[in-house]
Amino acid sequence: MKFSLKSILSAGAIAATAWVGTAANAADTIKVGVLHSLSGTMAISETTLKDTVLMLIDEQNKKGGLLGKKLEAVVVDPASNWPLFAEKERELIEKDGVAVTFGCWTSVSRKSVLPVVEELNGMLFYPVQYEGEESSRNVFYTGAAPNQQAIPAVDYLLSEDGGGAKRIVLLGTDYVYPRTTNKILRSYLHSKGIMDADIMENYTPFGHSDWQNIVADVKKFASAGKKTAVVSTINGDANVPFYKELGNQGIKAEDIPVVAFSVGEEELAGLDTKPLVGHLAAWNYFMSAESPENTEFIKKWKAFIKDDKRVTNDP
């Protein structure tokens, strides 16, 4: 959950200080790399993560820092360019001397960074849900795996409360996380009695904007008479035209519900959400969640960002 990131940040900085040994001890500050896309197709999701890390660093420094030193953020923009993620991470470790990096969103960016982190014995905190099937002593995977996010969401869609879906559409961006997650989900759907004839699967590039034909295909697939639901692993700014096209073609949640794994308040900001009421998202955190901890977190967020209209987001 978002408001637990403070403890993650502190734990990461402590571990990183021990990790880099005398080099960190000799420095005046503990440098923290922030490796999130501030431009390109993933900026819609990742910019908020950058700002959240900066907020937590500022908060920790106001408490005196860590181990007698202030934390210093080193922010870079890999610009939604997967090879550039690796280049920027190498610079952060070798040139800037960061003790730890908080970064990446897509699994393809994480996999680009992974060889660099392992080669240079760095440390990456990866904050997003991911497909599993990877483990590294140099990476802390803090997001949900499919058994914690995707499968419970599908269970809900198949349940009576969720509409009792008998046909499932798997829509995703064309990279490792959606394809691997949907491979897992297809097998899981088989175990629930939903066979391939009742599963539609489609992938689109990052930044895809023309959803007219795909949404029409979803409507046609749903016209077979069985209750149909959509599971979306669409990432980045492609979500904006996708949801607009759902509204344009009159797809309502009571007819074809959509559950998304990469859509939160940030991705929906600026959209006309009236046609989207009832569609779903499965996340570890929502800004709208009601709890004393979240209320306190949002208060700190607005004070730091100095914009009451600015939303924050999972992860």
Element counts in the chain: helices (H) and strands (E) = 11, 10
Write out pLDDT tens, residues 30-66: 999 999 999 999 999 999 999 999 999 999 999 999 9
Q: Is residue 76 part of a domain?
A: yes
Q: Which stretches of the chain are assigned E, i.e. beta strand?
A: 29-35, 70-76, 100-103, 124-126, 139-141, 167-173, 199-204, 228-233, 258-260, 280-281
Q: What is the per-residue pLDDT for 130?
A: 92
Cα-Cα-Cα-Cα dihedral sign, residues 50, 45, 299, 306? positive
Average pLDDT over residues 258-268: 89
With a CB cutoff of 8 Å and minimum separation 6, the contacts of 172 are: 178, 179, 181, 182, 202, 203, 204, 232, 233, 234
> Residues 277, 294: one domain?
no
Name the phi and psi angles at 217, rounded to 5: -65, -35
Q: Tell me what pLDDT residue 223 has.
A: 94
Residue 228 · residue 254 · CB < 8 Å: no
Same domain, 113 and 212: no
pLDDT value, residue 3: 40
Dihedral (CA of 205, 210, 211, 212) sign: negative
pTM, 2 dp: 0.86
Q: What is the pLDDT of residue 270?
A: 72
Number of domains in the chain: 2
Residues 163 and 109 in one domain: no
Same domain assignment for residues 159 and 272:
yes
Residues 6+ apart with CB under 8 A from 204: 171, 172, 173, 174, 214, 234, 238
Which pair of structure tokens corresponds to residue 262?
A: 């990469």
User: What pLDDT, on the 0 to 100 scale, is given for residue 15?
Assistant: 54
Choose the most confident range, by mean pLDDT, from 87-101, 239-253, 275-289, 296-310: 87-101
Distance CA 268, CA 311 (A): 10
**Residue 310 maps to a domain:** no
| Res. 192: pLDDT tops 60 | yes
Q: Is there a single domain that holds both residue 106 and residue 238?
A: no
For residue 125, give the CATH number of its domain. 3.40.50.2300
Residue 134 pLDDT exceeds 60: yes
Question: What's residue 104's pLDDT?
Answer: 98
pLDDT > 90 fraction of the chain, expressed in percent and rounded: 82
Q: What is the reported pLDDT for 126?
A: 97
Q: Which residue has the higher pLDDT, 167 or 264?
A: 167
User: 139 and 8, same structural domain?
Assistant: yes
In a domain, 232, yes or no: yes
> Mind listing the pLDDT tens digit for each residue in 63-92?
999 999 999 999 999 999 999 999 999 999
Q: Is residue 66 part of a domain?
A: yes
* Cβ count within 10 A of residue 48: 24
Q: What are phi and psi of 73, to 5 degrees?
A: -80, 135
Does residue 22 register a pLDDT over 80? Answer: no
Residue of higher predicted confidence among 299 and 265: 299
Domain presence at residue 78: yes
- In-domain check, residue 311: no
Contact yes or no for 189/199 (Cβ under 8 A): yes
Same structural domain for residues 124 and 227?
no
The confidence score (pLDDT) of residue 275 equals 82
54 with 98, same domain: the answer is yes
Using CA atoms, how far residue 241 sits from 44, 84, 236, 308, in Å, is 13, 26, 11, 26
Would you say residue 312 lies in a domain?
no
Q: What does the pLDDT average to over 286-303?
A: 94
Would you place residue 111 in the very low, low, confident or very high pLDDT band (cuts 50, 70, 90)? very high
* pLDDT(2) > 50: no
**Which pLDDT does position 23 carry in this prediction?**
46
Q: Are residues 115 and 160 in the same domain?
A: no
**Summary mean pLDDT of the chain:** 91
Do residues 127 and 149 lie in contact, with contact meaning Cβ atoms separated by under 8 Å?
no
What is the rounded average pLDDT of the residues 150-160?
98
Grouping H, G, I as helix, E, B as strand and the rest as coil, residue 194 is: coil
Residue 226 is part of which domain span? 150-281
Distance from the Cα of residue 89 to its chain's centroid: 19
Q: How many CA atoms lie within 13 A of 55 on its CB side?
A: 21
pLDDT greater than 90 at residue 274 = no
If you average pLDDT over residues 201-223, what whole number do you get? 97
30 and 133 fall within a common domain: yes
Mean of pLDDT values over 230-253: 94
pLDDT at 5 over 70: no
Distance of CA 116 to the CA centre of its chain: 22
Is 315 domain-assigned?
no
Looking at the structure, do residues 276 and 154 belong to the same domain, yes or no? yes
Residue 121 and residue 168 share a domain: no
